Amino acid sequence: MPSLLTTHHHHFDLHSADSLPDSYAWTPLDDHRSDGQSHLPIIDLDSPDAVHSIGLACLHWGAFHVINHRIPPDLLHRVLSETTRLFSLPTHRKLLAARSPDGVSGFGPARISRFFDKRFWSEGFTIVGGPPMDHARRLWPDRADHTSFCETMGEYEKAMEDLTGRLMGLALASLGLDKRDACEFQGGLAVMQLNSYPACPDPGRAMGLAAHTDSTLLTVLHQTTDSVGLQVLHRDGRWVGVLPVPGALVVHVGDLLHVISNGRWESVVHRAVVDRDLHRYSVAYLCGPPSHVRVSPASALVGPGREAAAYRPVMWGEYLGLKARLFDGALASISVHNMQNKIKTKNNNRLE
């Protein structure tokens, strides 16, 4: 179990390290190697087969690349250059926008790091509910510098809202739902996670971001494409390094889409590894439902004469709370099967 002592990391400057401190050295070492590199399925959003191919990609991989997504190349470029500009600030300046101990937005280690004894070779900056004006002003007192960051992130967020709406429509259609059902999930709180993985003197023993699933419906990942950093766990148990496709975006099935699919699609387990020479950046747009929406297995899939619902309904806020407490046990905690077994055990105990 992780020790609570690791919750409050004091800051160590990854950029100046010439060897790996013990607190960053992960074991077992060879678990790091991926069993190969591969392209994820590439979905052309303009193709008439998009619904069908998204369904197959979700079933077999839980992740895919999208092309013809209509996000302007210039915007994609600016998002990564603003991200680079942010993480290139000196540490003392970044700490002016540090995440507060129980807060979400701001600069700090990945939130899942508290579940692990070893530290991650990465830095993160989380943006919640619109451009982070206050933080940006502290990072860049100069007006032109903070407005260009906020405007770019705001523009990207809008573009992502639109893209994830279209992706949800296609994904739900491939589950046999009406595309209009996707509307219910639109307009949720936007969360963007900017990640920086500096070059690392001992990449074979370091971990950029440990294995996890996203607590989202879908996640759209935009990344620098000169190194392979993202790895996904294939259903056959192999870790696969995802070869970047220039111009494409990576889409992950999150835990909530797993619930909607009644467990048909797994939320993809993924992690990020680091490189000896290349500094990698990624921007994850975490797409969740509006806070009042109860997420449950799709009515087209479950009910009398069809499958039994595998999960109870859950709202995003509640699920995030479960994830924060139980981490990779969160999905199991809303599984109907597990709940029924618990009730049975309770009743049996009572009879004894």
Ligand X SMILES: O=C(O)CCC(=O)C(=O)O
**Among all residues, which ones are annotated catalytic?**
280
Mark 260-289 with x for binding to ligand X (rule: CB under 6 A) and - for no binding: ----------x-x---------x-x-----
Q: Which residue is nearest to Fe ion (CB)?
A: 214
Residue 191's DSSP bridge partners are 128, 286
For ligand X, the binding residues in 196-215 under the rule CB under 6 A are 209, 214
HEC profile of 78-140 = HHHHHHHHHHCCCHHHHHHHECCCCCCCEEECCHHHHHCCCCCCCEEEEEECCCCHHHHHHHC
Is residue 193 part of the contact set for ligand X (CB under 6 A)? yes
Kindly identify the residues of this chain, within the stretch 135-164, that bind Fe ion according to CB under 5 A: none
Binding mask 134-153 for ligand X (x = CB under 6 A): --------------------
CB 105 within 8 A of CB 127: yes
> Which of 137-145, 171-179, 212-220, 302-310 is the region at the interface with Fe ion (rule: CB under 5 A)?
212-220
Q: Does 82 bind Fe ion (CB under 5 A)?
A: no
Do 137 and 143 contact (CB within 8 A), yes or no? no
| DSSP state for residue 120 in the 8-state scheme | P
Q: Residue 282: which of ligand X, Fe ion, none does it interact with, CB under 5 to 8 A by kind?
A: ligand X
With respect to ligand X, which residue has the nearer C-beta, 86 or 309?
86
Backbone phi, psi, residue 111, to 5°:
-65, -25
Stretch that binds ligand X, among 82-90, 137-145, 180-188, 222-230 (CB under 6 A): 222-230
Tokens of 321: 């709370």
Q: Which two tokens stand for residue 22?
A: 């013990």
Contact 280/229 with Cβ under 8 angstroms?
yes
In this complex, which beta carbon is closest to ligand X, that of residue 40 or of residue 50?
40
214 binds Fe ion (CB under 5 A): yes
Angle between helices 143-174 and 50-60 (to 10 degrees): 90
Choice between 284 and 293, CB closer to ligand X:
284
Taken in order 40, 30, 108, 81, the sign of the CA dihedral is negative
- List the interface residues with ligand X, window 40-79 (CB under 6 A): none
In a 3-state reduction of DSSP, which class is residue 291?
A: coil
Among positions 106, 169, 188, 229, the unique one binding ligand X when judged by CB under 6 A: 229
Name the residues that contact ligand X, by CB under 6 A: 193, 195, 209, 214, 221, 223, 229-230, 270, 272, 282, 284
